[in-house]
Amino acid sequence: MKNNLLSVIIPVFNEQENILELYQELNIVLKKLTVFSDYELIVVNDGSIDASLSILKKMAVHDVRVKIVSFTRNFGHESATYAGIMHACGDAVVLIDADRQDPPELILEFEKEFANGYHIVYGQREKRLNETFVKKLTSKAFYPTFRFLTKVDIPRDVGDFCLLSRKAIDCIKQMPEKTIFIRGLIYWSGLSKKAVFFIRRSRGGGTSKYNYRKLTIFALENIISFSTVPIYFILAFSLFIIAACVIGTISAFLMHMFGYVVMTGWTSLIMCMLFLFACTLFFLGIIGLYVGKIFQEVKSRPVFLVNEKINFELAGVQPAHKTTIQAQEPGQVILGQENRL
């Protein structure tokens, strides 16, 4: 028995060099679906400042299966992916980036495993072409660190390229946090999963939107969003320092009592002070990140703002010349909607 619809979600930020080629590749592959009878392409324009949105609108005119969600500004890749999930109507959803590094033909393999009953079918990278040694090393280090600190069974060498069942999507929709890490939310559910191995291609065109600074911040924020282990580490380290100070004080007193020469000079004292000062600043930074997360959550601002939607059926759309604010799914607000049917 066929499922009705497969939703393919594509976050886009300044990908004018890749959009059309990816669209053509996807159309060739998706026409070969056997489990799903139809498909839709939900493209989320994450505040692109190049010609991406213009290209998408031309595609949407000629293909009603291309549905566009356009943000008012850049909210980030995770928010764009989440917006696509919130707008997906399919019996299953495929997440794929617009840089053409993930091969669309793998979707057919995802479909086979989905038919076997798996709720999460993910692409696992056997090889990554044209990536630096540092990028590969940091990526390999992130996944075991994340698993150890968060106890979330996220597989190694995975991205967002995966197929999710409707049950998996409904689980994600039940999670109300504002700081979103899609990969973490997917595997936190604990639903059955299956890997499909592939070789990640080189970027089709343009440049990566992530540098090492952004990746470092991304890793720290996501670990903190899913784990309180760093707080316990700070507590354990502080107890260790207290114990070391007590032992050192007792040792110095005994050495003085028995006539031994105690270490003199300012060098050792200054080095210890600098070390403890650096540790204090580091730990205050960790605590500050947690406080910042709490601050973001309690404000309850939407994860994204939608400027317009194209090829979506919306009831009661206001005239285009009026600016309206209408609450939609959790985590979003729609401004000045425009609908093309």
Residue type at 284?
L
Helix, strand, coil share (%) of the chain residues, nearest 5: 45, 20, 35
Tell me the C-alpha distance between 14 and 210, whole Å: 13
**Closest residue by Cα to residue 15 from 74, 63, 64:** 74
Tell me the C-alpha distance between 67 and 62, whole Å: 11
115-170 confidence digits (pLDDT tens):
999 999 999 988 766 666 666 677 777 778 878 888 888 888 888 999 999 999 99
Q: What fold is seen in the domain 3-226?
A: Spore Coat Polysaccharide Biosynthesis Protein SpsA; Chain A (3.90.550)
Between 27-31, 214-218, 287-291, 336-340, the lowest mean confidence (pLDDT) is in: 336-340
| pTM across the whole model | 0.74
pLDDT over 80 (residue 317): no
pLDDT over 50 (residue 325): no
Mean pLDDT of 193-211: 76
DSSP notation for 64-75: TTEEEEEESS--
Q: Where are the domains of the chain?
A: 3-226, 229-299
**Closest residue by Cα to residue 74 from 1, 141, 14:** 14
Tell me the C-alpha distance between 25 and 23, whole Å: 5
- Residue 341: pLDDT band by 50, 70, 90 thresholds? very low
